Structure 1
Amino acid sequence: MTYTLPDPGRAPTGEPGGRTETELRRELAAVYRLVAHFGMTDLIFTHISLRIPGPEHHFLINPYGLFFEEITASSLVKVDLAGRPVSPTPYQVNPAGFVIHSAVHAARPDAMCVLHTHTKAGVGVAAQAGGLLPISQHALEFYERVGYHDYEGVALNRDEQRRLVADLGRHPALILRNHGLLTVGSTAGKALLRMLNLERACQIQIAAQAGGELVVPPADVCEHTARQLEGTAQDDLADENADELAWGALLRLAHRIAPDHVD
């Protein structure tokens, strides 16, 4: 099967409306392969979901039992908000994945993509009382912009859903205490870029804590930097194309390392 990379003029990290399900499947499959490439997997036990625009509230999620490096566009499972497959599939859906992802999708219409990981650095920071510290530029993207959800056991309890979405609030990211990281985005590309930055922030924090006393910028500098990174800082230049350019580069990488993801 041949595959043409998305036209940069289509703003691949922009709103997904108007794009076909096939295009969305390919983008989500690319994200799965990229998460595997960057070493952010936990066997078969984490998930990335993507809402398909429309009144049906259907979303795509990984087939339970496949490694991320095995996932293709056609193998993704389309389910409803009750976790029921809406088209024939030989695969199952992980119950814990359904509990977390369906809750976020139902509560946040803007969260078209939900990405959840259990990395060593992510869980390490999630286990710290201080949470994510504002000690790197990567971390400052999330300054006062990340929620925290206390650990309640394996995410199999539907009652936990309302507490989880309340803790996420309107934030673009959530740290699940003793568990891992979660990011959301209006597209798969935005959720991935946020996770890459949040994961790097956690890696930097773990490394810095092993080296001695930490330097923390003043609160006003932290807030200003966060506004710069989200493009809302007044009188500062804004790199408006950064996400689109980075996502385009990531798609090219996915096509090089795993061209079969589009199948």
Structure 2
Amino acid sequence: MSVHALKTSKVANLRSKVSAEEWQMRVDLAACYRLMDLYGMSDLIANHISVRVPGEPDAFLINAYGLLYEEITASSLLKIDHEGKILAKPDFGPGLDYGVNRAGFVIHSAIHMAKPDVSCVIHTHTWAGMAVSTMECGLLANTQTSMRFAHISYHDFDGVVLDLAARGGLVTDLGDNNAMILRNHGLLTTGATIPEAFNAMHRLELSCKTQIAAMSCNTRLIDVPADVVEATYQNYQPHVRRPFGLLDWPALLRKLDRLDPSFRD
């Protein structure tokens, strides 16, 4: 167990104080934070992943602003409502009165408020995601993996997302998609479940890395016919396959349990 996990485990366990459904969601969300860090998609204490609280449509769980992703546990997550009021938070100890990142609240509340079918929202500032977010061409549908995002959404940069007025534009630009590139900023994915949102972000990040690697080789890239791209995109849609993450999430949890099971605390 890491030193950080040992420190975080001092947060009182909340399992007996929440519903069984909320506790399971807390465990899965904490796992998602650990996995994001494990796969190189964290940014110190920045960025955020949120999930809607079962049975509480106007509340969601999110990270405390001050913890590294590798430190986050089920009990360390904050519960907030759509107006930013903190509904539940643990005692982090003397001098550690962690709150919610303002930009995180604005981005995540916007989507949770507007899309009741969305349970989980993930936002990242990875080097690959930020690099592609600055490219005029956007994400190229030049690999089987990236063709999954052939109709990805885009949101133009207009400053740090601190104003509630930004909510409308984020939701409008996301549209019916489950992934969006925030231009000159980073990446965002959503899902009906945590596994779905994580799977989308993992594949979107891989698509960005692959594009940068291919473009760096200074050779002409192969263009895939538009009809093949569209057919491949359709093969990734919900009506033709099982939900993303259904098979890999249990395996990922087993991986975390082997490495450090403290996310379950």
Identify which of structures 1 and 2 has the higher relative contact order when contacts are C-alpha pairs closer than 8 Å and 6+ apart: 1
Cα distance in 1 for residues equivalent to 2:129 and 2:63: 21
Alignment of 1:72-221 (within 5 A): 72-89=73-90, 90-144=97-151, 146-211=152-217, 212-221=219-228
Residue 38 of structure 2 corresponds to: 37
CA distance in 2, matches of 1:25, 1:181: 23
Indicate how the Cα distance of structure 1 residues 193 and 242 shifts in structure 2: closer, same or farther if over 3 A, else same: closer
1:143 Cα deviation after fit: 1.0
Cα-to-partner distance string for 1:43-95 (whole Å, 9 max, x where unaligned): 11100000012245110000100000000000000000011111243420000
Counterpart Cα distance in 1 of 2:174 and 2:108: 12
Distance 1:117 1:241 in 2: 22
Write the deviation string for residues 206-242 of structure 1: whole angstroms up to 9, x where unpaired: 0000111111211110111111122545xxxx5x376
Q: Which runs of 5+ in 2 are unaligned?
A: 1-18, 91-96
Secondary structure of the 2:246 match is helix
In the alignment, the residues of structure 1 paired with residue 239 and residue 118 of structure 2 have an alpha-carbon distance, to the nearest angstrom, of 20
- Residue equivalent to 2:257: 255
Aligned position for 1:28: 29
AA of the residue aligned to 1:39: G
Task: Supply the distance in 1 between the matched residues of 2:76 and 2:196 (Cα, whole angstroms).
Answer: 22
Does the 8 Å contact 1:56/1:80 carry over to 2? no
CA contact (8 A) 1:62 1:93 kept: yes
CA separation in 1, counterparts of 2:99 and 2:245? 33
Q: Which letter maps to 1:73? A: A
Preserved CA contact (<8 Å) 1:77 1:91: no
| SS state at 1:109 partner | coil
Runs of 4+ in structure 1 off by over 4 angstroms are none
Q: Deviations over 1:159-213 (max 9, x none)?
A: 1110111000110101000000000001111100000000000000000001111
In the other structure, the counterpart of 2:248 is 246
Q: RMSD of aligned C-alpha atoms? A: 1.5
Structure 1 residue 260, shift from structure 2 partner: 0.1
Partner-residue secondary structure (3-state), 1:86: strand
In 2, the alpha carbon distance for the partners of 1:116 and 1:20 equals 24
- Where does residue 7 of structure 1 map in the other structure? none
Partner Cα separation in structure 1 for residue 55 and residue 67 of structure 2: 27
TM-score, normalised by the number of residues in structure 1: 0.88
The 2-side partners of 1:125 and 1:71 are apart by: 28
CA contact (8 A) 2:76 2:89 kept: no
- Counterpart position of 1:9: none
Q: TM-score, with normalisation over the residues of structure 2?
A: 0.87
- In the alignment, which residue of structure 2 is the partner of 1:5? none
- Say if 1:100 and 1:155, in contact at 8 Å, map to a contact too: yes
